[in-house]
Amino acid sequence: MSEQPTLAQVAAAAGVSPATASRVLTGSVRVSTSTRRQVYEAVSRMGYVRQRAPRGSVSRNPVTGITAVICDHLPRLFSEPYYARLLSASGAVVAENGTHLTITTVNPTSSVLPTLSGAVLLVGARERHPLAIKLCTSGITVRNIGRPPHDLKLPFADVDNYDGGRQAAEHFLLTGRKSVAAIGGPPSLPAARDRLDGLVKTLREAGVAEVPVAYGDFTAASGTHAMQWLLRHAPGLDAVFAASDLMAAGAMQALRRAGRRVPADVAVIGFDDAPVARHTNPALTTVRQPVEEVATIATRLLLSGTTGIDPILPTELVIRDSA
Amino acid sequence: MSEQPTLAQVAAAAGVSPATASRVLTGSVRVSTSTRRQVYEAVSRMGYVRQRAPRGSVSRNPVTGITAVICDHLPRLFSEPYYARLLSASGAVVAENGTHLTITTVNPTSSVLPTLSGAVLLVGARERHPLAIKLCTSGITVRNIGRPPHDLKLPFADVDNYDGGRQAAEHFLLTGRKSVAAIGGPPSLPAARDRLDGLVKTLREAGVAEVPVAYGDFTAASGTHAMQWLLRHAPGLDAVFAASDLMAAGAMQALRRAGRRVPADVAVIGFDDAPVARHTNPALTTVRQPVEEVATIATRLLLSGTTGIDPILPTELVIRDSA
């Protein structure tokens, strides 16, 4: 097997045409979920084989380690379950390869480049993040988790956030909701924008002209606050989409306090399928994002030095009781 | 001010004799809690001043960063609240100094030295840990959190685990408990051994010849399992000390299932004063360990390159409802 799998090899392994594989891997157009899964299974499988049997690949620079650079405040590393899922999955791949995962956090305003060993898995970079910009031009091998902000040119691995928002909108439309509001994440984060865009554009295409939006920072407290704002400014709402499960849980608290029943009065859909989604009352209908899978693929692509492939993994609506 | 504060300077700042300061800092004999606090406040204060005004200290090697090396499996970094408390506190000190905290985990059997930048804060090293042994002889500046295993010669910062066990024993004795059992942590970890030693030796001095012990790994599940074992082997027990709050919470579940009331039938004391201690039913009596403070002092000593001081911070019994 050659140094890096070619697009043709990935396509052949997935049983699709190179053109289709290309569409999946660049995320440029919509492809069916099953086709997408086939292609990513092939990418994942081929990456795995190559790492376990790298015989003869002399020209390859072996990656001596991976540093996960989390663009967030250190205490959030422990309070945000997304990081635990992402880093545990990435760490398992790194350990399989006999090397180390190092984790460091950088504040959103910091431009001090930490001492880095090997390649970098960049997480949570927002627009104009000075450190992320520096990393882009540093010559260090980097892969971003999530589509990078438009000011950054970086390889990435993402989940289909836009399609997750679209699925939420379609579920609201199919269940007869008329007045949909949204709680967005930080607008400087592409993942947050994509979730909202998928929702709003799909509703607009269906003739819903206006979607009131309040913004949070992915925490439960911010979801509660945003929901209170929405209830004041759009008291007639009968559905709300939150860009994270924690914000959805916080929104449900605000709805309960306001005397609105979920889902009878207001349907709620979250995003993540985090553990909290099973523990809310009622259990949360949410868009599942494959956090572990995207971390696994991104880490394998980093370790193998593969470029030219920017996987976007499918998201999936999980229907429970809140919508 | 000179390059490093001398013992005499610390003693003078604390208002105690150099001999007393020495006893506190080496942890060799028992000193009153208030004296110990005075000395550590001086250490902490002097370290802080020196970092904020390091003028003229030309011979000092500036530490470019700190790597926290956690000797544990990566997912435990997120599930064990001790790490979140410790690393958030250490990270705050590092950030104050304009540098980075990097975090890496190494499995207990790994001997692969990760690429390290600057100084190392070593956490959770057990006896004969191959990586810890390697670090000792590497020439890298290291400070261990906790008294190091006896096979390692390393500067450290610790909490008075032995005295915590002693305080638990005294509380049991003062409240008329006759048959005390213990749930220890991993015996290869000095902190776990010290907690148990403090309990068992104090009870022995009071004439209690035998203390049944079961061991866990600091998790709630292991506490439940250990408690079940103790109930089978020492059914007459009326008190149990657990070397972590999570194990105490797990033990309380086992006691409830066995129909034993806490504290009427069995008194329970934990160790940590972790958030869970307030949420058990009844609320947990526990030995508070100053995790944030030990992390802060250890990090300051690392950043300032200070050696010859191995602080042992006092622990304190917090009496709630379970004992």
CB distance from A8 to chain B under 8 Å? Answer: no
* B112 vs A: CB within 8 A: yes
Q: Does A191 map to a domain? A: yes
Domain count for chain A, please give it.
2
Give a yes or no: residue B81 inside a domain.
Answer: no
A171/A282 same-domain check = yes
Could you read off the pLDDT of A1-26 as tens digits, one per residue?
345 567 777 788 888 887 787 777 76
pLDDT of residue A49: 35
Give the CATH number of the domain where residue B199 resides: 3.40.50.2300
Question: How high is the pLDDT of residue B52?
Answer: 30
Last-in-domain residue among A41, A60, A79: A60
- Look at residue B215 and give its three-state secondary structure: strand
pLDDT reported for residue A26: 62
pLDDT in tens, chain A (323 residues): 345 567 777 788 888 887 787 777 765 446 777 787 777 777 766 653 333 333 333 234 556 789 999 999 999 999 888 999 999 999 999 988 888 899 999 887 777 777 777 899 999 998 888 888 888 888 889 999 999 988 888 999 999 999 999 999 999 999 999 999 999 999 999 999 999 999 999 999 999 989 999 999 999 999 999 999 999 999 999 999 999 999 999 999 999 999 999 999 999 999 999 989 998 999 999 999 999 999 999 999 999 988 889 999 999 999 999 99
Domain range enclosing A12: 1-60
Assigned domain for A88 exists: no
**Chain B residue numbers touching A84 (CB-CB < 8 A):** 75, 77-79
Q: Is residue B121 part of a domain?
A: no
Residue A193 placed within a domain: yes
Chain A positions touching B77 (Cβ under 8 A) are 84, 87
Q: Which of B31, B60, B89 is the last residue of a domain?
A: B60
Which regions in chain B score pLDDT beneath 70? 1-5, 26-30, 44-63
Predicted confidence (pLDDT) per residue in B83-93, tens digit: 999 999 999 99
- Looking at the structure, tell me whether residues B55 and B169 fall in a common domain: no
Chain B contact for A105 (CB, 8 A cutoff): yes
Question: Is residue B142 a part of any domain in this protein?
Answer: no
Residue B308, domain member (yes or no): no
Q: Is B109 on the interface with A (CB under 8 A)?
A: no
Contact present, B31 and B19 (Cβ < 8 Å): no
In a domain, B36, yes or no: yes
CATH number (domain holding residue A12): 1.10.260.40
> In the prediction, which pLDDT does B50 show?
34
